[in-house]
Structure 1
Amino acid sequence: MLNTNRANAAPASADHQPVWEHDHDIELLRGMLANAAPLVSPEDIDALRHTLRDAPQDSLVLQLGDCVEDLSEATTESTKRKTEAISTLGTALRHRPGGILLLGRIAGQYAKPRSTPYETVDGETFMSFRGPIVHDVRRGSRHRAGNAHRIATCHLASQITARTVASYDAAPFLTGRIWTSHEALLLDYEIPMVRESEGAHYATSTAWPWIGNRTRAIASPHIDFAEHVANPISVKVGPDLTPQDLVQLAKKMNPANDPGRLTFIARYGRSRISELVPLVRASAAEGISARWLTDPMHGNTFTNHQGMKTRLIDDIVAEAVGFSKILRAEGVPVGGIHLETTPEPVQECVWHRNEEIDPARYTTGCDPRLTTPQAQQVLERWELA
C-alpha cells in the first residue's frame, strides 16, 4: 500500500535512485514538496482518464518530447516552440478517424535511469548522469554529487512549463489540449507530490506518468507507487518480460480492467520486435484492457564511428511498422507511438549509418532525438505502412 505520509523517503529497495550528498537537504525538499500546489489537479487527471476510457478504438496517442528536459529551456518561449512542434506532428496523423490525443514528454522529464550507475574518468569515479533534477551533466565528482536543491529548481521549471502547456490551444485534437507526462523514476520527488481527493490518491507531478523498463519489476517500489495512484499509467515493456509477467502486471496495476487506466509501451528494437507477439497474444487471451504504444527509439541506439550515440531513422520506422503489423494480426488496436523529439535543428538521429554528425548540433542531455521534420517522416511512413 502506498504510504500516505507524503514527506517520506523513497524506499531503500528502489532501483535507480541517486545518492544524495546531504540527507538533511533531501528531507527539507520532501517536506516542501508535500505542501506544494499540484502541477496537475485531480480533476484534470480524472478527465484525462475518462477520455481514454471512452476514446474510440481507432484513436491514437501521440507522445513526443525531450529525452531529458534542459532547465535552460523552461521558459514560455521555448515551451511554446515545443507545444507548436507537438501540434504540428499531430497533423501528420490527422486522417485518423478516431482522433489524436497529444501527450508531451514535458514539464517534469528531468530524471533518467542509467544501465551503468557510475563512471570513471582520469581515475575519478562519480555517478553517471541521472538528469538535471539530481546533478550537473558535466563530469567530475563535484558536478555529479546528488544535489537535493536541484529538485526545487526542477519543480519550479515544471510549474512554468506546465502552465504554458496547459494554456496551449490544441483544438483540432482530442480534449483540445496537450497533456504532460514523464517517467516516474525519482521517488523522492514523486511520493511527496501525491495528493488525496475524494478517497483516491493522485500523482500530481504530471497527468500521465510512466514506469520505465528498468523499474517495472512486479514487486518494485515504482510499481507499488503507480498501483496506488488514480492517474492513467503507462508501463514500458521489453524483451526480458514474459507473457505471464505481463498478465500479472496488468492485473496488479488495473484489477478493475478499466480501459482508461493502463497502457503498455513496447520498446524492443528493430531486430527483436517479433518477440512482442506472445505478450500481445497473452494480453488478448486474458481479456486485458490496455492501450498499446510503440517506442521504436530506445531499442535502436548504437554508437557511430565518431563514438557518438545515435539512432538510424530507418530502424525507428521499421520497428514502428513491425509493431503495428503484430497488433493488427492479433486483432488488437494500435494505440499510439512514443518518440523522443525536439523542435531545435539538431543532428542526433541519422539517415545513414556512416553519416558524419556535427558535434555542435548534438545537444541532447542523454539520448538522441528526432527533429520535427524527421519525426514527421517517421509518422507518415508509419501511418502509410
Structure 2
Amino acid sequence: MMNDTQLTQPQLGDHGLDNWRELPIRQQPSWPDRAQADKVLADIATRPPLVFAGEVDRLRTRLAAAARGEAFVLQGGDCAETFAAATADKIRARVSTVLQMALVLTYGASMPVVKLGRMAGQFAKPRSKDVETREGVTLPAYRGDIVNDFAFTEQARTPNPQRMLEGYHISASTLNLVRAFTTGGYADLRAVHSWNHDFRSNPKNSRYEVMACEIDRALQFMAATGADFDALREVEFYIGHEGLLLEYERALTRVDSRTGTPYDTSAHFIWIGERTRGLDEAHVDFFSRVRNPIGVKLGPTTEPDTVLRLLDKLDPEREPGRLTFITRMGATKIRETLPGLLSAIKAEGSTPLWITDPMHGNGFTTERGFKTRRFDDVMEEVRGFFDAHAEAGTHPGGIHIELTGDDVTECLGGTDQIDEATLETHYESLCDPRLNHRQSLELAFLVAELLQNRGAAN
C-alpha cells in the first residue's frame, strides 16, 4: 500500500488546523499534567505517519464507487480495542472474519466489497458520564486504553498522556500485521473460503448451505479453467476509527508535499460520533480541513436540515467519496426516520455514501448488568436500511459492525441461540457487545440475500 508521497508535519496554524482549539469541544480527557501531555503530543508529531496520502486517495475513489451503487462497504472490528488484545492471534481472527464476510457479500452483491477495519486506532471511547461510581467510590470514567485503564482504581482511571504514545506504537504494529496478512498470501481467496466447511457442519446453519456450496463451485470452476489465482493473493484493506481524541489526531496530521493538502495519517477513514458532531464545534471544524474520507454518525433524532448543514460543512465541493453518513437509528425507528433524510439529500442533488450501523441503536442492559444486543434487532435494522433506500430510490452502500473473530458470548441470538444465561460464560468486551465470529458470518449471509434480492429487483 505504500507510495512515494512525502508527508510533513504542518506548522502551527497552517490550513486552519488549530482553529478547533477555540471552539466548544466534547468528550476530551482532563490531563492532570498539561506539560506532560504537550510533550507526548510533540513527540507523536515527529513520528512517521501510520497511513499514506496515496492510500487515502485510493479509498476515496472506492467509497465514491459505493455511493454510486457500484460497490459495497464492509466496516468491522472491535467496539474499543485494548492494548492487551493487540496480539497476532486476535488481530488475525478479526481480519479473517472481515475477509470471510466480504467473500459472502461479494458473491451476493456481484460487485466489489470495500474492506475497512475498525482497528489499528479504535482506542478512544465517548462516555455518557465523566465519572463512574461503585459502592460509594467515584472515579473518572474509562475513556479507552489511549486515555486510561479499565481497572477501577484511582491510579488506573487517572488519564495518562503516555498512553497516547503507546496507542501510536500499538496502532503501528497492528497495521504492520494487517498489511502482512492482506498482501502476503494469507488473504488468498482459496484459503479464505475454507471456513465454509466448518460453518456448514452445524445443522443450525443449513439455510446457508446453498450459497456456501455455490461459492465453492464457483472457486472450483475458476481453478479448473486455469484462473490466475495469483491476482487474488492480495486484497485492499483499509483502517478507520472514530476521531475522538482531537489532540492525538492533530499530532498525526501531515501535509502532502505534492499538493500542500493536510491528511490525518492516523487512519485512512475517520468518523465523527453522534455525541461530537455539533455543527459549530471542534470535531466538525477540524475534520472539515483534512483530505481523508470522513464519516458522520446519525441517530434517530437527526433532522434533515442538520444533515444538509453537515454536508455543507464537511463536503462543500460535493466530492464523490468524501462524505459518508453512518445511520444508527435502532430497529424500531429506522423506517420512520431514514427515508426523510435520504429524500432531503437526494432532492439537494448530492450523493454521499450511506452505510448502516445496526449495533448502536439496539443496545440494552440485562437484569444481571450485561450490556447486550439481540441479533434479530441487528438484522431488522439492516432490513429497514435496505427498505428505506428502496423507497427513496437511493443506494444502500454498506454496513458498519462491531465484531470479533473470537467465540465470545456478548450478543443474544443467532443460530447458536445465545441466551441471557449464556452471556456471562464468555463476555469479554470492556464497552459495547460485539458479534462473535459465527454471528458475523450469519449476518453476512443475510445481507448477501438482501443484496441479491435488490439486484433482482433492479
Shorter-chain TM-score: what band?
A: over 0.9
Count of aligned pairs: 384
Say which SS state the counterpart of residue 125 (structure 1) adopts: strand
Say which SS state the counterpart of residue 361 (structure 2) adopts: coil
Tell me, yes or no, if the aligned pair for 1:58 and 1:97 is still in contact at 8 Å.
no
Residue aligning to 2:146:
133
| 1:215-266 residue CA offsets vs partner (Å, 9 max, x unmatched) | 1111121111110000111111012221011011112111111111110000
Gaps (5+ residues) in structure 2?
Answer: 1-11, 190-231, 451-458
Say which is worse superposed, 47-56 or 133-142, in terms of deviation.
47-56
Residue aligning to 1:98:
111
1:383 paired with 2:448, answer yes
Deviation (angstroms), 1:359? 2.5
Deviation (angstroms), 1:211? 0.6
Say which is worse superposed, 235-244 or 334-343, in terms of deviation.
235-244
1:27 to 22, 35, 38: 38
| 1:126-151 residue CA offsets vs partner (Å, 9 max, x unmatched) | 22111000001011322111100111
Deviation (angstroms), 1:8? 9.9
Percent of aligned pairs sharing the same letter: 36
Deviation (angstroms), 1:54? 4.3
Tell me, yes or no, if the aligned pair for 2:63 and 2:321 is still in contact at 8 Å.
yes
Deviation (angstroms), 1:360? 4.4
Q: Residue type of the partner of 2:283?
A: H
Distance in 2 separating the partners of 1:129 and 1:320: 30
Residue aligning to 2:126:
113
Query: Which has the higher Rg, Structure 1 or Structure 2?
Result: 2
Q: Which has the higher contact order (CA 8 A, sep 6+)?
A: 2
Q: Residue type of the partner of 1:144?
A: R
2:246 to 182, 187, 191: 187
Deviation (angstroms), 1:81? 2.2
Q: Residue type of the partner of 1:69?
A: E
Tell me, yes or no, if the aligned pair for 1:89 and 1:372 is still in contact at 8 Å.
no
Q: Residue type of the partner of 1:356?
A: A
Distance in 2 separating the partners of 1:365 and 1:79: 17
1:176 paired with 2:187, answer no
Gaps (5+ residues) in structure 1?
Answer: none
Q: Residue type of the partner of 2:169?
A: L
Q: Within 5 A, what are the aligned runs for 1:11-90?
A: 13-54=24-65, 57-90=69-102
Residue aligning to 1:256:
317
Distance in 1 separating the partners of 2:131 and 2:260: 41
Deviation (angstroms), 1:97? 2.2
Tell me, yes or no, if the aligned pair for 1:269 and 1:319 is still in contact at 8 Å.
yes
Deviation (angstroms), 1:84? 1.4
Distance in 2 separating the partners of 1:383 and 1:50: 23
Say which is worse superposed, 45-54 or 183-192, in terms of deviation.
45-54
Tell me, yes or no, if the aligned pair for 2:411 and 2:418 is still in contact at 8 Å.
no
Say which is worse superposed, 270-279 or 260-269, in terms of deviation.
270-279
1:371 paired with 2:382, answer no
Distance in 2 separating the partners of 1:54 and 1:171: 24
Q: Residue type of the partner of 2:142?
A: F
1:331 paired with 2:331, answer no
Q: Residue type of the partner of 1:285?
A: A
| Structure with the bigger percentage of helix | 2
Say which SS state the counterpart of residue 84 (structure 2) adopts: helix
Q: Residue type of the partner of 2:174?
A: T
TM-score using structure 2 length: 0.80
Distance in 2 separating the partners of 1:210 and 1:165: 20
Q: Residue type of the partner of 1:277?
A: P
Q: Residue type of the partner of 2:49?
A: P
